[in-house]
Structure 1
Amino acid sequence: MSTQNAINWPEKYTPGTGDNFVSNEVIVAGLNAADLWHYLVDTSEWESYYDNVADISFPQGGGPELKDGSHFSFGTFGFPPLDAQVVEFQAPAPDLPGRLSWTAKQDGKPEERLDVLHAWLIEDLPGDRVRILTQETQIGAPAAALAQERPNPMLNGHQAWLDGLLRAAAK
């Protein structure tokens, strides 16, 4: 029997306590966590496999590869570029999952404020399989509005990101 790892959640972003939460997961054979990691942490790759991201920049320098504490910005889901910061970064290693989480924020009037934690977990599984889990908690009026849309744009958008990540790593 094997146990799968879970996302590490700061209390503020605990799933079910915000205004919007989605979870997407895939498990596939023939790839490993190391194959995928580069395409996830190198933001210069994102637009080549995911069409719901734009205007990626590193206002404080650095990049395009994310690392612990990286500050960056990007546009997604029709929002103006969000200010983001990596809050968890652990490259995958034998018996250790890859972990990447960032917060992303939009300031402004109360009805415009958005506060997000987007987390990724990539782990090798027995039988030459890899598991990719991505989850996001959003807080704020724009998040509450997004949660009411059908079909759910965040659920579908994150699935497109997972699918694109898999295609990029399989090349």
Structure 2
Amino acid sequence: MTMMNAIEWPKDYEPGCTENFCSNEVIVSGLTTAKVWPLLSHAPAWPSYYSNSANIRFYDEKGPQLDVGRRFYFETFGFPVEAQVVEYVAPEEGKPGRVAWHGWAGEGDTRLDVHHAWLVEDLPGGRVRILTQETQKGKPAAELAKAKPNPMINGHQDWLDGLVAAAQKA
């Protein structure tokens, strides 16, 4: 029996307690965390495999590697997102890689707050599992939750598919 890890949620962002939640996952044979992690943890690489990310920059002359406390900016889904990494654990033998950030955009009724988390783990049989989940708060999140097709589910699936393709080429 294979046990798989789960995202660790901050109390105010638990799924089901926010206006929107999306979850995407892939399990791929022939890949490892060692091939996937560098593409995910190096934010400036995102636009090379995920067209819905742009203009990534870091504050305080930090970066380009994500790390706990690191502030960065990027644009996605039409939102200019300010973000701060709140969890960063590189994968190790028998332990998954974890990265999560709090992102925010807008003010007042246009304010959107998110917790976007990733988990990357090696599974038995030469497989890798990549899980990305996001919870969102605010009026824009409530509107996104009603949209059909769901732009968050579709966009994050594009991110996963691009990440897998880039890791397979590496």
Range class of TM-score, shorter chain: over 0.9
Q: Which residue number in structure 2 is paired with residue 83 of structure 1?
A: 82
Aligned match of 2:68: 68
Correspondence for 1:42: 42
Q: In the alignment, residue 50 of structure 1 is paired with which amino acid?
A: Y
- Structure 1: 5+ residue runs without aligned partners? none
Residue 122 of structure 2: aligned partner = 124
Residue 147 of structure 1, CA deviation: 1.0
Given the two structures, how large is their TM-score scaled by the length of structure 1?
A: 0.97
The one-letter code sitting in structure 2 at the alignment partner of 1:102 is W
1:169 alignment counterpart = 167
Residue 131 of structure 2 is aligned with which of 113, 130, 133? 133
Give the drift of 1:55: 1.4
Kindly state the Cα deviation for residue 28 of structure 1 after the two structures are TM-superposed: 0.6
How far is the alpha carbon of 1:68 from its aligned partner?
1.5
The C-alpha deviation readout for 1:53-96, integer Å capped at 9, x for no partner, is 111111222111111111001111011x2110000000001000
| Structure 1 residue matching 2:110: 3-state secondary structure | coil
Secondary structure of 1:111 counterpart:
helix
Say how many residue pairs are matched: 169
Q: CA RMSD in A?
A: 0.8
List per-residue Cα deviations over 1:39-61 (Å, max 9, x = no partner): 00111210000011111111222
1:18-46 Cα deviation digits (max 9, x unpaired): 01100000001000011100000111210
| Percent of aligned pairs sharing the same letter | 57
| Distance in 1 (alpha carbons) for counterparts of 2:59 and 2:40 | 20
CA distance in 1: counterparts of 2:43 and 2:5, whole angstroms: 25
Query: What TM-score does the superposition give when structure 2 sets the normalisation length?
Result: 0.97
Separation (CA, whole Å) in 1 of partners of 2:110 and 2:35: 38
CA–CA separation in structure 1 for the residues paired with 2:158 and 2:75:
16
- 2:45 is paired with a residue of what secondary structure? helix
Equivalent residue, structure 1, for 2:150:
152
Q: Give the aligned residue type for 1:135.
A: Q
